Structure 1
Amino acid sequence: MQTTDKQQGKKLAGSAARRLLWGGTLWLGLIGSSHALPNFDEVRREHRSSETLLLSREGEELQRIRTDSTVRRGPWVGLGDVSPALRTALVLSEDKRFYEHSGVDWAAVTAAAWGNLWNSRTRGASTITMQLAGLLDGDWRQGPGGRTVVQKIGQTVAAQVLDRRWRKDQILEAYLNMVPFRGEIVGIEALSQSLFGKAPHGLDAREAAIAAALVRAPNASAERVGQRACGVLQVMAPDDVAAKDCSAMQLYTASVLQRRQWQPVEGIAPHFARRWLALPQNKGQEQVRSTLSAPLQRFAVSSLQQHLRELQGRNVEDGALVVLDNRSGEILAWVGSSGTLSQASEVDGVTAMRQPGSTLKPFLYAQAIAEKRITAASLIEDSSAHIPTQNGLYIPQNYDRRFKGWVSARTALASSLNVPAVRTLVMVTPDAFFDQLKRLGLPLRESGGYYGFSLALGSSEVPLLYLTNAYRALANGGQWQPVNWGEKTKEGAVQAVDARAAFIVGDILSDNMARAPTFGTDSVLATRFWTAVKTGTSKDMRDNWAVGWSQRYTVGVWVGNARGEAMHSVSGTSGAAPIWAEVMGFLHRNTPSRAPKAAQGLVQQQVQFGAGAGGSPIESQRSEWFVAGTQQAVFAMDHIADGAGPSSATGQKGSKTGGTTGAVSSVRISRPANGTILALDPDIPPDSQRVQLIARQAGMAAEQDWRDSSLRWRLVTRQYVAPPKAADGKPQAVTPVVREVPRELGRGSQLGWLPWPGRHRLELLDASGKVLDSIQLEVRGAGALVAGPEQIRSTPRR
C-alpha cells in the first residue's frame, strides 16, 4: 500500500513539474515574441497608404489616386494633427487610465474577471496599448471565436513591452493610424476624409464621438453606433446640445455613415496619373514625381475648360491637350478631358482614336518634297477632281467648297487645300504614304489600300499623343523618337522624314502669308514668336485639331465630342486653335522661340510665277527653299513659260503633274468625269436627279464661266440582246449581241440631263458633228440592265 502511495506521489510531482516547465517555456516564448515587436519608427516607415500622390516635376501635388482596392487607408497622421476632441473621446471611450497604467489596466482586468464570475456586464479590460499590440502582431489578433488564453497572455505581455519601449503619444498616434473603423476604412485620415470630408485636425466633438464609437463596434448598425456616440459625447461634452438629445445624434450618425466623400480620384491630371502610376518603376510608392509641369498643367486645364464653355452652344463638350518637350520627349502637360463639362469624362482624349483630318498633310508634302516630286513652289491645280478608284470615283472638296485654281505647294499646304493634297498623294501613292506614317509612329489599323486617296485628308484614326509626337519629329529635323515615359527604351532616334523636307514643311507652316487665302493674315495661328502649326477638321465636323511646334515645345489640341456627335459651325481657327495659341503663349511668356537653322542640302532662291487665267501672276515673287538640284527661277503653266499650248497641270517648268495637252481651241468634257457611276434613288423625284453636263476649253479654270451654243451632246447606250431560245426553252449557247443606241440630248456647253439606267458613252460634238471628246459612264437604278455579255439579269425594283 505504501508503495502505491509513493508511486502516485511521484506521478503527481512529475505532472506538476511538466506543467511548470511548459508554463515557463510558454512564458519565455511569449516574452521572446513580444521583444520582437517593431519600434515606432519602423511602424511609421512601413505604413502604406491606399492612395498614391502624383507630384509635378517641381514637387507640387497634382493628383491623388487610389491604388489599393483592398483597403482605404490614408497617409500617416501625426498626433499633433489630430483634433483634441478626438483624442479625448478615444481615451474616454477605450482606455480611461491610458496615461496611468503600464500597458495593462489591472484594475479593469480584475473588474472584468469579477463580472464574468457573477455573469454581469462590465467594460472590457483591453487597453489601447493591448489593442495596438494585436494590430502590430497578428498572433495576438482576435479571431472569429475570440482570443484564446495563450493569445490573451501574449497580448498582455506584448502591451507591457510596448509601454516600456514606446512613449504614450507614440502609442496613441500609431493606434489612430492603424485602427479599423468601418468596412474598408482603416486609420483616422481615411475616416475623416470619407465620412466628414475634412482632415483629422478639424473634427468637432460630435464627429469625434462617432469616431470613438466606431472603434468599439466598427460594423454595428447606425442606431447602435449613434447610441454609443451619444454616450461618449455626454461624458466629454455634457453641455453639447446633441448630448442632451440622443435621437438627434442618432439621425446625424445615420446620415454620416452613408457618406463616402473621399473620392478615389482627385486632382487636375487623372488620366495621366493612371498611366504614369501603372509604370513598373512607380508601383507601390506613396508619392511619385512625374514630368508634368504644375503651372503649365493648371493653365492648360483652365484654358481648355474656359474655351469649351464658350463653344457649348455649338455642340462641343470634350477636348484634350498634350505638351511635349522637343528634345527630351517628356510629357509636360496632359489634359485628357474637359472634366465636369463632359458626359464622358473618364474617356482619355489624349489616347482616344480619332480622325485627324488635314493634320496629316504636312507629312505627305514632306514625303513628296523628299522624293523630288514637287518643290514648295511647284504649281498644283486646285480644281474639281474626279479620281477613279476600285470603289468608284473619289471627288475631294475643299473646306469652303471653293477652288483656288493654280496654287503653289506652299500655299496649298499652309492654306490646307484638299484637292492639291489628293493630287500630291496620287503622285506619292497611298501605300507609300501609309509606310511614311507608320515610320512616324502612328498606329494605323488598316493598310494604305484600305484608306485610298482619302488618307491625304485624314480618313484614318490616330490618337492625339501619337500625332503630336509625329509633329515633334518635324520639329527635330525629321528624327522620330518615342515619348519619354521615364523608362529605358531600346528604341533610338529614327530618321523618319528627310531633314531637308522637314525644314521646308516647318517653314511653310510658319508662313502667315501662305495661309492667308484660307485663314486671313490676322488669324489666331499667327503668334508673336516663331511657331509652325497645322489645323484639321474630320469628316462631318466630328473632330477639330491644332498641332504645332515652337523651338522648344510641341503642342497638340483636340476638341469634339467623345460620343462622336458632329459639332456646329466650328472651323479650324475657332475650335482647337485658340487653345493651342494660348498654351503656346504661356510656354513662351518669358522664353523666346527662334526659327530653326536650315538643314544641309538646302538652297534658297528667288522665284517668280507666270500669269494665271486673269493675266496676273499666279503668286507674288518670293524667296523659296529647295532641296539642292530642284531649284528654278520661274514657275508657270507650260504655255506661259514656253509660249506654247497650255497644260492643265504642271508642277514646275518641264515637270508634269497631270492633265492633257492640246490647242487652245480644243474643248473637253469637264463634267461628269470618265468612269462615273451614278445611282438613281427611287425615293427622290426624277427631276431632282438631273446631272449637269459641262464642257470647257482645255486649260480653263474650273470657276471660269464659258458658253458655246454650237456644241452638241449625244448619248450612246449599250444594249445587250439575249440569244434566241431553243425548242426546249433553254437559251442557245451563243454570245449575246451588243447594240449601241444613240440619242441626242441637246445643245450648249452646259446641259441638264435626266439620266436613265444603263451603260453609256457620252459624246461631245461640234456643229459639224465631229466628236470632240467622249467619256464612259454608267447609271444604276431600278429595272436597269446592268450585266455585261457574260451575264444578263434584271435588277429587281426596290
Structure 2
Amino acid sequence: MRILPVRSLAIAVLLAASAAPAASAPAVPAHEQVRAQWRASDAVMLDRHGAPVQALRVDRQARRAPWVALADISPALPLAVLQAEDTRFMEHGGVDLRAMGQAAWDNLFRERPRGASTITMQLAGLLDPALKAGPGGRTLGQKWDQAVAARALDAAWSKAQILEAYLNLVAFRGELQGVGAAAQGLFGKAPSGLDVAESVILASLLRAPSASRAIVARRACALARDLKAATPCAAIDAVAQRAFSRQASMAPLPPAREAAAQLLKGAGENVRSTLDGTLQRHVQAVLRQQLMALRERHVADGAVLVLDNATGEILAWVGNAGGSEVDGVTAARQAGSTLKPFLYALALERRLLTAASPLDDTPLEVTTPSGLYAPQNYEHDFKGIVTARASLAGSLNVPAVRTLMLVGLERFAAQLRALGFSSLGEEADFYGPSLALGSADVTLLELTNAYRALANGGVAGGATLQARARPVARRRVVDAGAAFIVGDILADRAARAATFGLKNELAAPYWAAVKTGTSKDMRDNWCIGYTARHTVGVWVGNFDGSAMWDVSGVSGAAPVWRDVMDYLNRDLPGRAPQAPAGVVRRTVTWQPALEAARPEWFLKGTETSRVALLPAEQRLPEIVYPADGAILAVDPDIPAGRQRVFFLAHGPRDLRWRLDGTEAGSTGQQAGWAPAPGKHELVLLDGTGREVDRTTFTVRGAE
C-alpha cells in the first residue's frame, strides 16, 4: 500500500478547510466591472451610420473578440464545458469537496494525476494575477487563496455570470482567448452558431490548449459520448482537422484598412469615422474591377478618395485594391498635369491672362542648370496659337510652361503650398519649369483636397476622417472668380474635344469639372474632379515604380472616377455653379479666327469682346523670362562658374539687354548670365536704344 505523500495530504487538508466560511473574504470585483474592463484585441472603425467597416489588430499579446453574453453563446458549448470541467458546477459553492477527495485518491493510486479545480476556481485564477501558476504549478498558498476567492465569487455572482465570465476570459488555443475569438478563429463563425462537434472540441481544448489535433479529437469524441450526443467521432475528427488547418482570423469586414490605420490606436475601441460604408464597398469594387481590366497593361495598384465639399469629410478611402500594403491615398506620387488648373487660376487671378487670351503652342526650349528643357504635348504635336481655355481643357504642355514663366516659379510654388501640398519642398527651383507639368510629388489626399478648394470657390480647409471632429479652419487661397472660371473650363467638353474627343469618360451627363494627368514614363495616372457636392480623386499605377503600358488618364483612372461620380449623382445630378460677384460674361470674337465666336467668362475689368493677333513683325517687343517679380535661386550643388541664366524676349533679333544699368548683349546671344545674389533690373532696348520693356527679379543664394 502506498503512503500518502505529505504534500498531497497538506493540499487535501487545506482545500477541505476552504469549505468552511472564510474569516475575511477577499474583495470580489463586480461582474459588470470585469465586463467593462475587458478589451478586445482589435479596434473597430465604424462608418458614419455606426456600422462596422474595419477591424484592426492593435494588441499583439492575444487575440480577443468583444465580450459575448451567455445568451449569445450556443447552449451546446456551456453543456460541453460543464461536462468536461465541472459536472457539479450548479451544486457546489465554488469549491467541489467531492471532486477534491476523488482527486486526492486518484493522485495516490493512479499514475496520471487528476485536478479538482472548479470553473469558479479557474475564474478566480483568471481574475487575480497573484494566483497565476508558475512553472511548477500553484503553491500551497495560491491554492488556498484560489479556493477562498472561489467561495467569495460564488457568493457574490450568479452561476450564469460566473460561466459567462469564464467563457470570455479563458484561453482556448494559441493566442485565442475567450469564446468570441476561439469561435471565429477556429471555425469562422460567431459563438451563437457553434454546433455540438465544435463545442466539444473547444471544451476539450480547455485542459490542454496546445494538444495535437489527434488528442483533441479523441477527447472530444469521448466528451460527445458522455453527453450522449448523436454526432459521430468521424465528423468530430473532420471538424477538428479543418479547424486546426485553418489560419485563424477575425470576421471579414468591408476593406478600409488604410483608413482604419489613421484612426484606430487603442485596443477594444470603437471609433466612428466619416466613411459611408455602402459607398466604400462600391468604390472598392469599382477600383478592383478596373485594375483587373488593366492587368494586361501592367497596372497593379490604385487608390480612390471621395470628399464631401461642404464639410471636408472623407466619405470613401480606398488606399489600395491591388493587394499591396502601401496606402495610395497618402503615398507621394508625381502629379502630372493635375497641377495645371492651379497655375491657370493664379494667372487669371493676377490678371496676366483671361480664358480668351491667346497662348503660343509652338516648340519651346528653356535653359536650366541641367540642360535644355523642351516640353512636349501628350500627342507630340503642336497646335500653334490657342486660347487659354483650350490650353487648359486640352492639357497642352507648352502653353502651361509659358504660363509658368509669366506667373513666376516661386509664386506658383507658394500657391501650391497654400493649397496644402506639404510634400512640395521649400525650394521651387528644384523643379524648374517642369513644375507646370506636375514634376512634383504629391499625395492623392493633398491633390483631391486642393481640387475641393476649387469646388468651394477658392476656399481651402483640411479633410477629416474623424466623425464629429472640430471644424477645420477655412481660408481663401484662390480668387473666387478665378476658381469659377477654371471650373467652367474643366467642365467644358467642347474645349477639350481637340485632345480627348467629345465622347469619353470625362463627359458626364451632369455638370462636373475634371482633369486627368499622367506622370513621366507613365508611372502614375490620375483623374480628379468635382461637382457642387463631392470631389473624387483616383490614382492608378504601380507602387514598385514600374511604368504602365499605353495607359492614359482617360483609359486608366477616368473610368473609375466616372463610375464613382455616376453613383454619387444617381439621385440628384450635379448642376453648374452660379457665377460669383466680379465675374462677367461677354461674347468674344478672334481675329484671325482661332475659335468661332462664343461667350466667355472674365474677371471684371479684364473683359473684352474682340481678341486680335498682330502679325509677328508688328507685335510689341517684350521680356518673356524672367517675369517681373520672379525669384531665382543659386543652386549650391552646381559650381558657381557653370551656372547661367538665359534671358528670353519676343521681338526682332536686333533687341538688346541692359542689366542693372550695364549693357548685356543682344537677345540673339546665348552665352547666358552668371547669376549674382540680390535684386536686379533688366531692360529690353530696341535697335535705336529706346527702352521697350522692363522687369525686376531677385536671385537668392550665398554671397
2:369 maps to 1:390 = yes
2:585 maps to 1:609 = no
2:290 maps to 1:307 = yes
Match of 1:521 among 484, 494, 502: 502
Counterparts of 1:398-409 in structure 2 under 5 Å?
398-409=377-388
Unmatched 5+ stretches in structure 2: 1-16, 629-647, 655-667, 673-703
Task: Report the residue type matching 1:606 in the other structure.
Answer: T
Aligned residue for 1:629, secondary structure, equals: coil
Q: Which residue of 2 aligns with 1:463?
A: 443
Q: CA deviation at 1:521?
A: 1.8
> How far apart are the structure 1 equivalents of 2:620 and 2:382?
18
Task: Report the residue type matching 2:191 in the other structure.
Answer: P
Q: Which residue of 2 aligns with 1:163?
A: 154
Counterparts of 1:469-618 in structure 2 under 5 Å?
469-486=449-466, 492-611=473-592, 617-618=593-594
Q: Which residue of 1 aligns with 2:24?
A: 31
Match of 2:138 among 137, 144, 147: 147
1:391 and 1:220, CA in 2 relative to 1: closer, same or farther beyond 3 A?
A: same
- Point out the more displaced range, 562-571 or 457-466: 562-571
Q: Which residue of 1 aligns with 2:602?
A: 626
Greater relative contact order, per chain length (Cα 8 Å cut-off, separation 6+): 2
> How far apart are the structure 1 equivalents of 2:385 and 2:622?
8
Q: CA deviation at 1:649?
A: 10
> How far apart are the structure 1 equivalents of 2:132 and 2:389?
77
Task: Report the residue type matching 1:326 in the other structure.
Answer: N
> How far apart are the structure 2 equivalents of 1:674 and 1:544?
40
Q: CA deviation at 1:292?
A: 0.2
2:392 maps to 1:434 = no
Work out whether residues 56 and 264 of structure 2, in 8 Å CA contact, stay in contact via their aligned partners in 1.
no
- Point out the more displaced range, 202-211 or 528-537: 202-211
Q: Which residue of 2 aligns with 1:17?
A: none
- Point out the more displaced range, 157-166 or 436-445: 157-166
Q: Which residue of 1 aligns with 2:611?
A: 635
Unmatched 5+ stretches in structure 1: 1-23, 612-616, 664-672, 678-798
Aligned residue for 2:24, secondary structure, equals: helix
Q: Which residue of 2 aligns with 1:210?
A: 201
> How far apart are the structure 1 equivalents of 2:390 and 2:498?
8
> How far apart are the structure 1 equivalents of 2:381 and 2:416?
29
Task: Report the residue type matching 2:398 in the other structure.
Answer: V
Work out whether residues 273 and 465 of structure 2, in 8 Å CA contact, stay in contact via their aligned partners in 1.
no
Task: Report the residue type matching 1:469 in the other structure.
Answer: N
1:166 and 1:605, CA in 2 relative to 1: closer, same or farther beyond 3 A?
A: same
1:662 and 1:546, CA in 2 relative to 1: closer, same or farther beyond 3 A?
A: same
**Aligned-residue identity in percent:** 49
Task: Report the residue type matching 1:620 in the other structure.
Answer: A
What does the per-residue CA deviation read over 1:664-699, in whole Å, with 9 as the maximum and x for residues that have no partner? xxxxxxxxx98599xxxxxxxxxxxxxxxxxxxxxx
2:173 maps to 1:194 = no
What does the per-residue CA deviation read over 1:402-449, in whole Å, with 9 as the maximum and x for residues that have no partner? 111111101100111111101101111222211111111112136211
Counterparts of 1:19-98 in structure 2 under 5 Å?
31-33=24-26, 36-98=27-89
Report the number of matched residues: 620
- Please give the TM-score of this superposition, normalised by the length of structure 2: 0.82
> How far apart are the structure 1 equivalents of 2:188 and 2:433?
57
Work out whether residues 645 and 662 of structure 1, in 8 Å CA contact, stay in contact via their aligned partners in 2.
no
Task: Report the residue type matching 2:387 in the other structure.
Answer: S
> How far apart are the structure 2 equivalents of 1:437 and 1:239?
72
What does the per-residue CA deviation read over 1:602-639, in whole Å, with 9 as the maximum and x for residues that have no partner? 2222211011xxxxx11111222222222222112113
1:47 and 1:240, CA in 2 relative to 1: closer, same or farther beyond 3 A?
A: same
Aligned residue for 1:275, secondary structure, equals: helix
Q: CA deviation at 1:350?
A: 0.7
- Point out the more displaced range, 562-571 or 401-410: 562-571
What does the per-residue CA deviation read over 1:763-790, in whole Å, with 9 as the maximum and x for residues that have no partner? xxxxxxxxxxxxxxxxxxxxxxxxxxxx
Task: Report the residue type matching 2:117 in the other structure.
Answer: S
**Which structure would you say has the larger Rg?**
1
Counterparts of 1:401-420 in structure 2 under 5 Å?
401-420=380-399
> How far apart are the structure 1 equivalents of 2:160 and 2:469?
45
Q: Which residue of 1 aligns with 2:246?
A: 259
Q: CA deviation at 1:107?
A: 0.7
What does the per-residue CA deviation read over 1:449-471, in whole Å, with 9 as the maximum and x for residues that have no partner? 11111111111110000000111
Q: Which residue of 1 aligns with 2:696?
A: none
> How far apart are the structure 2 equivalents of 1:435 and 1:29?
77
Q: Which residue of 2 aligns with 1:275?
A: 262
> How far apart are the structure 2 equivalents of 1:60 and 1:410?
45
> How far apart are the structure 1 equivalents of 2:195 and 2:166?
20
1:262 and 1:395, CA in 2 relative to 1: closer, same or farther beyond 3 A?
A: same
Q: CA deviation at 1:346?
A: 1.0
1:676 and 1:92, CA in 2 relative to 1: closer, same or farther beyond 3 A?
A: farther
> How far apart are the structure 2 equivalents of 1:158 and 1:394?
82
Q: Which residue of 1 aligns with 2:697?
A: none
What does the per-residue CA deviation read over 1:156-212, in whole Å, with 9 as the maximum and x for residues that have no partner? 232233223323222222111110122222111111222222222333333323212
Q: CA deviation at 1:223?
A: 4.9
Counterparts of 1:335-350 in structure 2 under 5 Å?
335-338=318-321, 342=322, 344-350=323-329
What does the per-residue CA deviation read over 1:65-119, in whole Å, with 9 as the maximum and x for residues that have no partner? 1111111111112223323332222111101112222222111112223344556
Task: Kindly report the root-mean-square deviation, in angstroms, between the aligned alpha carbons of the 2 structures.
Answer: 3.1
What does the per-residue CA deviation read over 1:247-301, in whole Å, with 9 as the maximum and x for residues that have no partner? x94x8746643532315975321110111214xxxx3443221100112111111
2:232 maps to 1:241 = yes
> How far apart are the structure 2 equivalents of 1:60 and 1:499?
38
> How far apart are the structure 2 equivalents of 1:658 and 1:413?
24
Q: Which residue of 2 aligns with 1:321?
A: 304
Q: Which residue of 1 aligns with 2:277?
A: 294
Q: Which residue of 2 aligns with 1:450?
A: 430
Match of 1:373 among 331, 352, 357: 352
> How far apart are the structure 1 equivalents of 2:144 and 2:407?
85
Work out whether residues 74 and 189 of structure 1, in 8 Å CA contact, stay in contact via their aligned partners in 2.
yes
> How far apart are the structure 2 equivalents of 1:265 and 1:348?
20
Counterparts of 1:710-725 in structure 2 under 5 Å?
none
> How far apart are the structure 1 equivalents of 2:242 and 2:288?
34
- Point out the more displaced range, 127-136 or 450-459: 127-136
> How far apart are the structure 2 equivalents of 1:533 and 1:328?
20
> How far apart are the structure 2 equivalents of 1:480 and 1:385?
34
2:173 maps to 1:173 = no
Match of 1:104 among 87, 95, 99: 95
Work out whether residues 639 and 647 of structure 1, in 8 Å CA contact, stay in contact via their aligned partners in 2.
no
Work out whether residues 90 and 159 of structure 2, in 8 Å CA contact, stay in contact via their aligned partners in 1.
yes
Q: CA deviation at 1:145?
A: 2.8
1:121 and 1:362, CA in 2 relative to 1: closer, same or farther beyond 3 A?
A: same
- Please give the TM-score of this superposition, normalised by the length of structure 1: 0.73
> How far apart are the structure 1 equivalents of 2:138 and 2:554?
72
Task: Report the residue type matching 1:377 in the other structure.
Answer: A
Aligned residue for 1:466, secondary structure, equals: helix
What does the per-residue CA deviation read over 1:715-746, in whole Å, with 9 as the maximum and x for residues that have no partner? xxxxxxxxxxxxxxxxxxxxxxxxxxxxxxxx
1:218 and 1:146, CA in 2 relative to 1: closer, same or farther beyond 3 A?
A: same
